[in-house]
Amino acid sequence: MATTAVGIASRVEMAAPPARRWYIDVWVQMVLRKPLGTLGAVIVLVMLTAAVLADVIAPYAYAETSLTERFVAMNARHWLGTDQLGRDLLTRLIYGARISLYVGFGAVAVGSVLATLLGVLSAYFGGRVDLWTQRGVDAWMAFPPLLLLMSIMSLLGPSAWNITLVLGAAFGIQNSRIIRAVALSIKELTYVESARALGSGHARIAVGHILPNVLPTIIVVATTGLSTVILTEASLSFLGLGVPPPYPTWGGMLSLAGLDHMYQAPWLAIWPAVALSLAVFGFNMLGDALRDLLDPRLKGG
Amino acid sequence: MKRYALRRVALTVPTLFFVSVIVFVMMRMMPGDVAMRMVEGHAYAPTLEALRKDLGLDRPMYVQYVDWIGGIVTRGDFGRSYWTRQPIIEEFLHRFPVTLELALLTILVSVVIGVTVGIVAAARQDTVADYTGRVLAILALSVPYFGLAVLVVVLPSIWFRWTPVWTYVPFTTDPLENLKIMAVPALVFGVTRAGPIMRIMRSALLDVLRQEYIRTAWSKGLSERRVILRHALKNALIPVISLVGLQMPLYIGGSVIIEAIFRLPGVGLFFFEALGKLDYPVVQSVNLIIAAMVVGLNLMIDLSYAFLDPRIRYQ
């Protein structure tokens, strides 16, 4: 823990004089020093655009079937082909980006709040609160994530809301560990001690002094976590436990249930797999670069 | 050391307690319509009331919990499957070797690939080999294993008329035939898990290579092979081993999808099919058993560190 405390201290000192706005500086540094991170950011940006403008740019409606054009490989009307119901794959990929991002960002937002709450409270109050909270987190992390999420989704029933909340809860509990570790070391710094000496209450110290310094870590955890959340959503939809049809999702398009169709039309498997890999790659690279730029302490690998 | 061991063992008790609470609470979240489907779709009980009684949901919470845990601890009673009416623990133990074999082969594949590429990348830092290795690791991280598995099942059957063998042969019946069946799933899953191992191997080895004793080894005139493989690797492997240990739940969780795609009759397929049939007693027990196994495994890993590595000291 000693090395972490030193690392945090230096970062806090570096961040202390608000000479340049760090959130602008990060992007400048990204373009200058991190080509892969920039590539990731571009991929994420393309995905975002596709998701937001899906209604405008998609050539067809996502549930529009055409029985005369089933299993089209690739042609001028259907650039990426069609599926067993004659639905346009490009359209469904574009709308699929929307679900991936909605669920991804939604779950990460829910999860970040939960992780911060759990992590900061557990670290701040310490002692018994910390001991029991952490045993709870231990217990949660003992479950293979997919097993637990599959069970819960099966019980709750597949829906976009359920999967967002469930993935958010899982993300939050898991990452509260990292937030807790950072909050623990910040809690011991002298300026927190002096705030307490000045008579600040628990809420003021936790929100006013600890939270702002945990923020960069939260951002890093959130961006690096997005790819995992998107991938988990895809695995659940792949198994038929995510967002229900007819709404297209990448995992659902790749689905286990549709395996038989793919022998006739391999592009049904290839395009969603490529889209998913690209998205995960983009978020991974962006997350890694942001981590290096925001949090030198976590550098490596 | 002894105090640490005792403390570490004592800490697993509340963890196991929470594991059981999570599983218990999860099953009590079941909305009414799921219970309805269990009665109407699968005829697990004549009426909704009978099903609730059978699941023990009609009694006070604490009675349900104590009864359930008591049965497990004293009689090893994990309940019966609604579908087969067989004791769940028997089916679990019968299928577990398949999942264990898949997990071990997957770990073997990912460690062999990850460690080899990691060593080369670290030994040749900032060369073409290093960059290639790092790009490959990123690719492995990005391709979802279930996507790769689907492509591996679908594409060869179209291009080469090759399909995976769907009839499973146990290792004890015909080891060679069994390995043939397991090879493709283990390779697919192992390759996608090699990325993180390669990255941690590379950075750990780079750290170790900068240490004084390695400089001593160089200055004694030892060959590169000897310095890296005999002196540096041992220490650099520690984080790799702990990563593999930490990722055990991922290997087991992933086996659900891999077993479902390749039709391997392991615990994962058991679990997946139970979910499809709304056979929740199975879902509950498989979750509990596997989480308890992970807790036990983590305990063993932590204790073995304390014994093996004298540099690790806990307060």
Give which of B133, B110, B109, B147 is closest to A277, Cα–Cα: B147
Query: Per the CB < 8 Å rule, is A147 touching B257?
Result: no
Question: Which of A41-50, B45-54, B245-254 ranks highest by mean pLDDT?
Answer: A41-50
* Gyration radius of chain A's alpha carbons: 22
Sorted by sequence, the CB contacts under 8 Å of residue B32 that are 6+ apart come out as: B48
Q: What is the pLDDT of residue A204?
A: 86
Give me the residues of A, 87-126, that contact B with CB < 8 A.
Answer: none
Query: Per the CB < 8 Å rule, is B295 touching A138?
Result: yes
Q: Give the integer Cα–Cα distance in Å for B142 and B193.
A: 10
Contact A121, A128 (CB under 8 A): no
Give me the residues of B, 11-40, that contact A with CB < 8 A.
Answer: 11, 14-19, 21-22, 26-27, 29-31, 33-34
ipTM of the complex: 0.85
Q: What is the pLDDT of residue B116?
A: 92
Q: What is the pLDDT of residue B110?
A: 93
Answer whether B103 touches A (CB < 8 Å): no
Exposure letters A146-164 (e unless 16+ CB within 10 A, then b): bbbbbbbbbbbebebebbb
Q: How many CB atoms lie within 10 A of CB B204?
A: 23
Higher-confidence position of B143 and A14: B143
Q: What is the pLDDT of residue A6?
A: 45
Contact B111, B240 (CB under 8 A): yes
CA distances from B274 to A159, B28, B42, B253, B277 (A): 20, 17, 12, 15, 5
pLDDT digits (tens, 9 = 90+) for B22-45: 988 887 776 767 777 777 777 777
Residue B189 distance to chain A (closest CA, Å): 14
Answer whether A12 touches B (CB < 8 Å): no
Answer whether A19 touches B (CB < 8 Å): no
Q: What is the pLDDT of residue A163?
A: 92
Q: What is the pLDDT of residue B165?
A: 63
Q: What is the pLDDT of residue A171?
A: 93
Name every chain A residue with its beta carbon within 8 A of the beta carbon of B249.
141-145
pLDDT tens-digit profile, chain A (301 residues): 344 444 444 444 444 444 567 677 778 888 888 888 889 899 999 988 888 887 878 777 777 777 777 777 777 677 777 777 778 888 888 888 888 888 999 999 999 999 999 999 998 888 888 988 998 998 998 888 888 899 999 888 888 899 999 999 999 999 998 999 888 888 888 888 888 888 888 888 888 888 888 888 888 888 878 888 999 999 999 988 888 878 888 888 888 777 777 777 788 888 889 999 999 999 888 888 887 787 655 444 3
Compare CB distances from B158 to A234, A263, A281 and report the shortest one's residue: A263
* Residues, chain B: 315
Query: Per the CB < 8 Å rule, is B154 touching A263?
Result: yes
Instruction: Determine the residue of chain B that is closest to A260 in CA distance.
Output: B154
Instruction: Determine the residue of chain A that is closest to B288 in CA distance.
Output: A143
Q: How many CB atoms lie within 10 A of CB B251?
A: 21
Sorted by sequence, the CB contacts under 8 Å of residue A10 that are 6+ apart come out as: none
Name every chain A residue with its beta carbon within 8 A of the beta carbon of B260.
239, 256
Q: Give the integer Cα–Cα distance in Å for A58 and B227.
A: 58
Instruction: Determine the residue of chain A that is closest to B261 in CA distance.
Output: A256
Give which of A229, A175, A143 is closest to B249, Cα–Cα: A143
Name every chain B residue with its beta carbon within 8 A of the beta carbon of A140.
18, 22
Tokens of A27: 């992007």
Residue A235 distance to chain B (closest CA, Å): 7
State whether the Cα torsion A256-A258-A264-A268 is positive or negative: negative
Q: Tell me the pLDDT of chain B averaged across its residues.
A: 85
Contact B123, B110 (CB under 8 A): no
Compare CB distances from A263 to B11, B157, B275 and report the shortest one's residue: B157
Query: Per the CB < 8 Å rule, is B257 touching A280?
Result: no
Name every chain A residue with its beta carbon within 8 A of the beta carbon of B201.
none
Give me the residues of B, 107-146, that contact A with CB < 8 A.
Answer: 138-139, 141-144, 146
Q: Give the integer Cα–Cα distance in Å for B51 and B45.
A: 5
Contact A255, A248 (CB under 8 A): no
Q: Give the integer Cα–Cα distance in Å for A145 and A103.
A: 17
Query: Per the CB < 8 Å rule, is B261 touching A135?
Result: no
Compare CB distances from A284 to B33, B138, B294 and report the shortest one's residue: B138
Angle value at C-alpha A146, between A144 and A150, nearest 5 degrees = 125
The long-range contacts involving A187-191, CB below 8 angstroms and separated by at least 24 positions, are: A187/A123, A187/A124, A188/A5, A189/A8, A189/A9, A189/A12
Give me the residues of A, 139-158, that contact B with CB < 8 A.
Answer: 139-148, 150-152, 154-157
Residue A207 distance to chain B (closest CA, Å): 29
Answer whether A276 touches B (CB < 8 Å): yes
Burial of B135 (0-12, 13-18, 19+ CB in 10 A): exposed
Q: Give the integer Cα–Cα distance in Å for A211 and A215.
A: 6
Summarize the confidence of residues B199-207 as an average pLDDT.
Answer: 90
pLDDT band at B312, cuts 50/70/90?
A: low
Q: What is the pLDDT of residue A165?
A: 93
Give which of B235, B237, B233, B250 is closest to B141, Cα–Cα: B250
Answer whether A1 touches B (CB < 8 Å): no
Instruction: Determine the residue of chain B that is closest to A239 in CA distance.
Output: B257
Place of tokens 């000479």: A19
Asked if the model's pLDDT at residue B70 lies above 80, the reply is yes
Name every chain A residue with its beta carbon within 8 A of the beta carbon of B150.
254, 256, 259, 262, 269, 273
